[in-house]
Amino acid sequence: MAPPKVLMIAEKPSIALSIASTISGGQMHSRKGTTEVHEFEGMFNGFPAHFKVTSVTGHVFSVDFPAKYQDWAATDPADLFQASIHKTEANPKAHICRHLSQEARGCSHLVLWLDCDREGENICFEVIQCTGFQAKDDRRKVYRARFSSVTEKDILKAMNCLVEPNEYEALAVDARQEIDLKVGVAFTRFQTSYFQGKYGNLDSRVISYGPCQTPTLGFCVQRYLQITTFKPEKFWALRPHVMVDGYELQLEWERQKLFDLDVALMFQKLVLQDRILEVTDISEKQESKGRPPGLNTVNLLKIASSALGFGPQLTMQLAERLYIQGFISYPRTESTAYPLSFDFKGTLGVLANNPMWGDYVQGLLSGGYHKPQSGKDAGDHPPITPMRSANEDMLERDSWRLYQYVCQHFLGTVSPDCKYTRKKVEFSIGGEFFHCIGLHVIVKGFTSIMPWLAVSEKNLPQFAKGDKIEVSKVELFEGQTVPPDYLSESELISLMEKNGIGTDASISVHINNICERNYVQVQAGRKLVPTALGITLIRGYQCIDPDLCLPDIRGFIEQQITLVAKGEADHSCVVQHVLEQFKRKFIYFVKQIDNMDALFEAQFSPLADSGRAFSKCGKCLRYMKYISSQPSRLYCGTCEEVYYLPQKGTIKLYKELTCPLDNFELLIFAMAGPEGKSFPLCPLCYNNPPFEGIDALFGASKTGGSGMLGKGAGMPCFLCPHPTCRHSLIAQGVCACPECNGTLVLDPVSAPKWRLYCNMCNCLVLLPQGAHRISTTRERCPECDSTIIEVDFNKNTTPLEDGATLHVGCILCDDLLHSLVEVKHGKSFFKRAGKWARARGRGAYRGRGRGFGKMDPKMSFRDF
């Protein structure tokens, strides 16, 4: 009988590999799959077994609302709190679920090696669901491996005491997901719709709210408000100077500073009257500056931002790459404590021959390296350390700088502490006390590898107790208190960590979010300066319901779901309770939105006052205004109508042409990029397609259940089946796209680089270049039914005989034209002529059955 099969699943491929190598002792076969699968024979529960180890890539599923709630216009955000939710595959293209189900076939044991935190516990149950195992089934058993690090010792220990997955912890994550989704989406949709419909110069596509991102923004705005409300105060400080051994030394006052000039002047007078300083005491003590604990993600992000000038997003990208390339260990960890079994000697050995630190490492290896500080053990991954030696030439500049820091930090953790003496000399004069401090480094320790942390030497002249010295001058320093600076990114990361906002893996995402949403801007020195929008939002929450932007809001959610994780409260009761509270807050927020709106009114301009007169409305024949801030749109002040435009491109008037259906002036939209297609559109038709049966609108990734248009999606003229308009698909369509079901249409403003583009995909066909004019005719090719085009060649470059310039023909069947066209994008256009021919029969829209449907399958680019 074949041995039983054991399937083991890790959270990511690298851990699957470590586990498989450890348990198999390196004797395994690995094969590619959605994620790699490692197979080997071994012993399981005392019996021989066949092992398969593979992994997921984080969460398999994520939660969302069903289709009927996807339509913003048709859903009242308040209803989202009671809406059903469903889990969908987090990354449908990866087919992780299918992979797991396939690998599980024929396996009688499932061992879950997901990371040992709540999220990992939740993924356990996602995996169980995909594999078809049951959490409690005696014949096909499910086990949970609990490991505190990915080391041989811990893996083997976990393997020997397998437990059950913890459903409470998994349910706590389910609860968080549902609460975050419902609260975030409800507030986001409401405030986006409310403010975007009202103000023209709001430069944000979406005005989002979230229990992590909003408090994050709150920190930045709080600092901003401290700065703007700061009232500087003058202060004065006495600074006596003495000349000793030819050096001038400035002394510090015990009172530091005074905010009353008269009192300060009085003290100055007393000191000046005395003139003689007496040394009252000299003390010296040894102090030390401790070596750092191991490097975790948050500290890496902070240092990278403050010392290297890298944003968290960039830092994580660089770290991820260094990790994939094997230069550093896994970069997402909370732990600053090294596991007991950590191989310091091995890691030092990695750097022993490094040209940059080799000598230092040799010193540590021979002189005895130090055991690092204890630090925090979060039970996830060891601190970030170098794994492979690199030099400057092997890495890109930024990667190298980050790698360099990881190495220096690691070496710092196993170096001696820095030791120095602090000498304090105290003086009295006129009844006032002053002092000076000297510093002398005895052991540089870790600061020699992390020189920016070095203690700077401060030498003092020789003094003896009882010395009497004449003051050379008594300065009355006048200063002013200054406001704090804008919040630095590094400070923000500390605040987030302290308040439990986000996790090591998501902190960078939240910071990036508030930048992308245009709530804050990163300025020189990575200072975060809130924008008018960011400030107005936070001030709005502060006056309606300050809880909404305080960090405690995350704490509240965390505390509630922790009850679920501990099994002290029922999952659905907690979710219901928390959602009820938030719904109450939501209803109140909606009711009080006028208060926030008053702040917006002071800051932004109403739609009617925004934008510039642009093109004529077909209904009232007055000019509509173009609002360029995202989402770009036209606003007719008379009709009070908004017409969304395609996004991410430029818009111009199209001569003074109008739409024959509704008299709106036509516009030309050019997509961004040198090869972006340009096309005409009518603002009204674009937003309200006049014809049925157009199933794929331009720019519509998701149109939602009700078929309502998303902002910016619609019907340009190249999708319009109008039978006689010069700009419609019928008039401008030339032939079927070789790549998809679409139709190639003439780009009307592409002169002199004339071209056709597909109205569905990004296929591009270059027409004879440099022609004066190329236009479609009403004629069809008798052979292939393509639209006959008319080309007016330039008289200097015409390929026609006798200098003739006008040529009429089919781009597929006319030899001359055919030789002058070229496919720019898409797969081979010519060799797959059969596909071209087939595609022509299935145009997205076939005008009146005229041509696009009846096609001789033999017709093709014959001569190619």
Partner DNA sequence: GCAAGGTC
Which position among 7, 99, 115, 251 is part of the footprint of DNA (CB under 7 A)?
115
Distances (CA, A) of 725 to 652, 661, 679, 682, 849: 20, 9, 14, 12, 17
d(CA 540, CA 484): 23
Least distance from DNA to the Cβ atom of residue 72, Å: 3
Determine, following the binding rule CB under 7 A, whether residue 129 of this chain makes contact with DNA: no
Interface residues for DNA in 322-341 (CB under 7 A)? 324, 332
d(CA 567, CA 171): 9
Determine, following the binding rule CB under 7 A, whether residue 369 of this chain makes contact with DNA: no
Determine, following the binding rule CB under 7 A, whether residue 814 of this chain makes contact with DNA: no
Least distance from DNA to the Cβ atom of residue 352, Å: 28
x/- site string to DNA, residues 249 to 278, per CB under 7 A? ------------------------------
Least distance from DNA to the Cβ atom of residue 22, Å: 18
Scanning 6-14, 243-251, 355-363, 771-779 for contacts with DNA by CB under 7 A, the matching segment is 6-14
d(CA 120, CA 113): 9
CA angle, corner 19, sides to 16 and 23, nearest 5? Answer: 140
Determine, following the binding rule CB under 7 A, whether residue 13 of this chain makes contact with DNA: yes
Active site residue 143: no
- Minimum CB distance to DNA smaller for 437 or for 672: 672
Least distance from DNA to the Cβ atom of residue 495, Å: 14
d(CA 345, CA 761): 57
Which position among 196, 268, 335, 632 is part of the footprint of DNA (CB under 7 A)?
196
Interface residues for DNA in 210-249 (CB under 7 A)? 210-214
Interface residues for DNA in 510-529 (CB under 7 A)? 510, 513
Least distance from DNA to the Cβ atom of residue 632, Å: 13
Scanning 9-17, 432-440, 605-613, 751-759 for contacts with DNA by CB under 7 A, the matching segment is 9-17
Interface residues for DNA in 84-113 (CB under 7 A)? 90-91, 94
- Minimum CB distance to DNA smaller for 64 or for 278: 64
Q: What 3-state class would DSSP assign to 4?
A: coil
Question: Please, which residues bridge with residue 613 across strands?
Answer: 625
Scanning 503-511, 585-593, 650-658, 786-794 for contacts with DNA by CB under 7 A, the matching segment is 503-511
Which position among 571, 711, 807, 835 is part of the footprint of DNA (CB under 7 A)?
711
* Residue count, binding to DNA (CB under 7 A): 55
Find the distance separating the first CA and the last CA of the chain, reported in whole Å: 61
- Please give the helix or strand (H or E) that residue 11 lies within, else none: none
Which position among 274, 320, 398, 790 is part of the footprint of DNA (CB under 7 A)?
320
What is the DSSP secondary-structure string of 810-832? -TTT-HHHHHH-EE-SSS-SSTT
Least distance from DNA to the Cβ atom of residue 211, Å: 5
Q: How many CB atoms lie within 10 A of CB 466?
A: 8
Least distance from DNA to the Cβ atom of residue 651, Å: 19
* 428: phi then psi, degrees, rounded to nearest 5: -130, 150
For residues 616 and 623, the answer to whether their CB atoms sit within 8 Å is: yes
d(CA 264, CA 258): 6
Determine, following the binding rule CB under 7 A, whether residue 710 of this chain makes contact with DNA: yes
Q: How many CB atoms lie within 10 A of CB 507?
A: 23
- Please give the helix or strand (H or E) that residue 535 lies within, else none: helix 532-544
- Residue 59: both structure tokens together: 């969460």
Q: Which residues of 645-675 are buried (b: 16+ CB within 10 A; e: fewer)?
A: bbbebebeebeebbbeeeebbbbbbbbeeee
Residue with structure tokens 């054991």? 6
- Please give the helix or strand (H or E) that residue 631 lies within, else none: none
Scanning 8-16, 353-361, 449-457, 522-530 for contacts with DNA by CB under 7 A, the matching segment is 8-16
Scanning 21-29, 162-170, 470-478, 498-506 for contacts with DNA by CB under 7 A, the matching segment is 498-506
Determine, following the binding rule CB under 7 A, whether residue 38 of this chain makes contact with DNA: no
Least distance from DNA to the Cβ atom of residue 94, Å: 6
Q: Which residues of 207-235 are buried (b: 16+ CB within 10 A; e: fewer)?
A: bbbbbbbbbbbbbbbbbbeeeeeeeeeeb
Least distance from DNA to the Cβ atom of residue 115, Å: 6
Distances (CA, A) of 699 to 144, 432, 703, 709, 715: 46, 76, 10, 10, 9
Scanning 21-29, 115-123, 401-409, 440-448 for contacts with DNA by CB under 7 A, the matching segment is 115-123
Q: What 3-state class would DSSP assign to 398?
A: helix
Residue with structure tokens 């906002």? 501
Residue with structure tokens 């398999």? 60
CA 852 to centroid of chain Cα atoms: 45
Residue with structure tokens 């975007």? 196
Q: How many CB atoms lie within 10 A of CB 716?
A: 25
Nearest to 236 by CA among 472, 475, 482: 475
- Minimum CB distance to DNA smaller for 12 or for 780: 12
- Minimum CB distance to DNA smaller for 583 or for 711: 711
Scanning 39-47, 417-425, 496-504, 577-585 for contacts with DNA by CB under 7 A, the matching segment is 496-504
CA angle, corner 237, sides to 233 and 241, nearest 5? Answer: 155
The identity of residue 322, as a single letter, is L
- Minimum CB distance to DNA smaller for 177 or for 750: 177
For residues 763 and 821, the answer to whether their CB atoms sit within 8 Å is: no
d(CA 330, CA 376): 17
Nearest to 126 by CA among 30, 58, 38, 51: 58
Determine, following the binding rule CB under 7 A, whether residue 209 of this chain makes contact with DNA: yes
Sheet strands (E) in 447-523: 468-480, 487-488, 520-523
- Minimum CB distance to DNA smaller for 695 or for 783: 695
Choice among 69, 209, 330, 643 that is catalytic: 330
Question: Please, which residues bridge with residue 237 across strands?
Answer: 477
- Minimum CB distance to DNA smaller for 58 or for 412: 58
Scanning 12-20, 135-143, 348-356, 765-773 for contacts with DNA by CB under 7 A, the matching segment is 12-20
Residue with structure tokens 């009844």? 431
Determine, following the binding rule CB under 7 A, whether residue 189 of this chain makes contact with DNA: yes
Which position among 192, 415, 560, 687 is part of the footprint of DNA (CB under 7 A)?
192
x/- site string to DNA, residues 153 to 182, per CB under 7 A? -----------------------xx--xx-
- Minimum CB distance to DNA smaller for 115 or for 489: 115
- Minimum CB distance to DNA smaller for 440 or for 648: 648
x/- site string to DNA, residues 685 to 704, per CB under 7 A? ----------------xx--
d(CA 752, CA 51): 65
Least distance from DNA to the Cβ atom of residue 450, Å: 28
Scanning 162-170, 501-509, 685-693, 836-844 for contacts with DNA by CB under 7 A, the matching segment is 501-509
Least distance from DNA to the Cβ atom of residue 193, Å: 6
- Residue 822: both structure tokens together: 């070229």
- Minimum CB distance to DNA smaller for 172 or for 765: 172
x/- site string to DNA, residues 48 to 87, per CB under 7 A? ---------xxx--xxxx----x-xx--------------
Least distance from DNA to the Cβ atom of residue 840, Å: 30
Least distance from DNA to the Cβ atom of residue 520, Å: 14
Determine, following the binding rule CB under 7 A, whether residue 678 of this chain makes contact with DNA: no
Distances (CA, A) of 42 to 1, 8, 21, 55, 380: 16, 13, 12, 19, 27
Residues near DNA (CB under 7 A) are 11-14, 57-59, 62-65, 70, 72-73, 90-91, 94, 115, 117, 119, 176-177, 180-181, 184-185, 188-189, 192-193, 196, 205-206, 208-214, 320, 324, 332, 502-506, 509-510, 513, 701-702, 710-711
Q: Which residues are catalytic?
A: 330
